Amino acid sequence: METLRVLVVDDEPGMLSSIQRVLRNTRIDLADLETQVNFDVQTSDTGEKALEIISNSPPDILLLDHQLPGMSGLDVLDNIADQKENILTVMITAYASLETAVVAIKRGAYDFLAKPFTPGELKATIRKTAKSLIVTRHARKLAREKRQVRFQFISVLAHELKSPIAALEGYLNIIKDKTAGDDPAVYEKMLDRCSIRLDGMRKLIFDLLDLTRIESGQKKRELNIVDLREIAQRSIESVLPQADSRSITINLLADEKLNMTADPGEIEIILNNLISNAVKYNRDNGRVNIVMTARNGKVNISVSDTGIGMSQQETDRLFNDFVRIKNAKTRNILGSGLGLSIMKKLVNLYEGEISVQSTPDAGTTFTAVLNQHIQQPQENAVLTQHTQQPQENDEHPTNHQVA
């Protein structure tokens, strides 16, 4: 329930009291904005008094008679011209004096009511005015919130970009001034650190571009029938060097023909993120299990690791932008903090969901459930029938063992 303040300015006491009576009993239901409006009514019999009330506590709506004893309604309107964004004025004009109404609108009034009017006409005009006021305020509030979210995102982004720059700058200064003595090996290590921080920065920028493209809908989607196993195998190959160097085993357990309607690039980002996270946050000699199944029109991708795991508190904030779990165990793991935000947005494009289950020091399982066939292209109708038959994954497992 919202209460709008209405100031009624008229020199006829009868008019004032009848408007007051009607408005006090008026309640407007704005269902599409999920709100109800009622009115708090104040009155004034001259323009001068009205201006005083307006300057002390501006109303939301001004019902203003044109013919007043001292200054006219139009004079009042001129005086509050700079507040017309916040105060909507309805001019009350004498019957058949359309001219005054036109002038009033030109000088910033929102609407007019011609005397004599019925309670129904008054209610209809007030309803229209109140709705316009509330819609405008609602839109302004949304725009403000959007600016705020954007500002926060950019502030954090700036910070995330400043850290690697500061690190690089620091090393360059030490190298330039030869602060660290004469041993070239020491400087080699600094250059290695510079490369690592640069790589991190590049990854952040690429992730940011991905995220922006997905959010803005600018990214062109090419939906095809894709083989999930094929994409998963490519993702596995891309993380093999890191996995091998830490003796981490990757297993892929998937239906033989696991087709879905998808943009291969998007699925690749989802799988790359899931699998590379499972390697990054694993322990040496650990395992990564990827299980993919299709049932009842849904594709289920689950990626488990035997890594450091997370607490409930940590998993709760995991999908927010730039959130990276900071603790002794994650100290040396690099990441942009955007991977999961990107994944979540992509999974949404498949009308799906992503969830996480984790036990500290035991491991984490991410599960993405996607719609197998979104916006099915016509020519592939036959394929749909074929792949939607339930496939008993456990009977024909194909095991892809690595390392």
Q: Which residues bind another protein (CB under 8 A)?
A: 155-156, 158-159, 162-163, 166-167, 169-171, 173-174, 179-181, 193, 197, 326-328, 331-332
Residue 251 CB, nearest approach to another protein (Å): 33
Cβ proximity to another protein: between 167 and 271 the closer is 167
Q: How far is CA 230 from CA 141, 292, 305, 397, in A?
A: 47, 12, 21, 15
C-beta of residue 134 within 8 angstroms of C-beta of residue 30: yes
Cβ proximity to another protein: between 39 and 171 the closer is 171
DSSP string, 187-232: HHHHHHHHHHHHHHHHHHHHHHHHHHHHHHT-SPP--EEEEHHHHH
Element (H, E) at 271: helix 264-280
Residue 160 CB, nearest approach to another protein (Å): 9
Cβ proximity to another protein: between 173 and 355 the closer is 173
**Cα 12 → chain centroid:** 52
Output Rg (C-alpha) for the chain, integer angstroms: 33
Residue 343 CB, nearest approach to another protein (Å): 24
Residue 183 CB, nearest approach to another protein (Å): 12
Instruction: Name which of 384, 403, 145 is nearest 284 in CA terms.
Output: 403
Cβ proximity to another protein: between 122 and 167 the closer is 167
Distance CA 125, CA 122 (A): 5
- DSSP E strands in 47-161: the ranges are 61-65, 88-93, 111-114
Residue 312 CB, nearest approach to another protein (Å): 16
Distance CA 302, CA 296 (A): 17
Residue 174 CB, nearest approach to another protein (Å): 6
> In degrees, to the nearest 5, what angle opens at C-alpha 257 toward C-alphas 251 and 260?
100
Cβ proximity to another protein: between 102 and 180 the closer is 180
Residue 281 CB, nearest approach to another protein (Å): 16
Distance CA 303, CA 301 (A): 7
Cβ proximity to another protein: between 137 and 193 the closer is 193
Residue 287 neighbours by CB distance under 10 Å: 17
Cβ proximity to another protein: between 24 and 162 the closer is 162
Structure tokens at 287: 């395992």
Cβ proximity to another protein: between 22 and 334 the closer is 334
Cβ proximity to another protein: between 218 and 332 the closer is 332
Structure tokens at 342: 């990107």
What is the number of helices (H) and of strands (E) in the chain? 11, 14
Residue 167 CB, nearest approach to another protein (Å): 4
Residue 190 CB, nearest approach to another protein (Å): 8
Q: How far is CA 181 from CA 21, 94, 186, 187, in A?
A: 89, 93, 8, 9
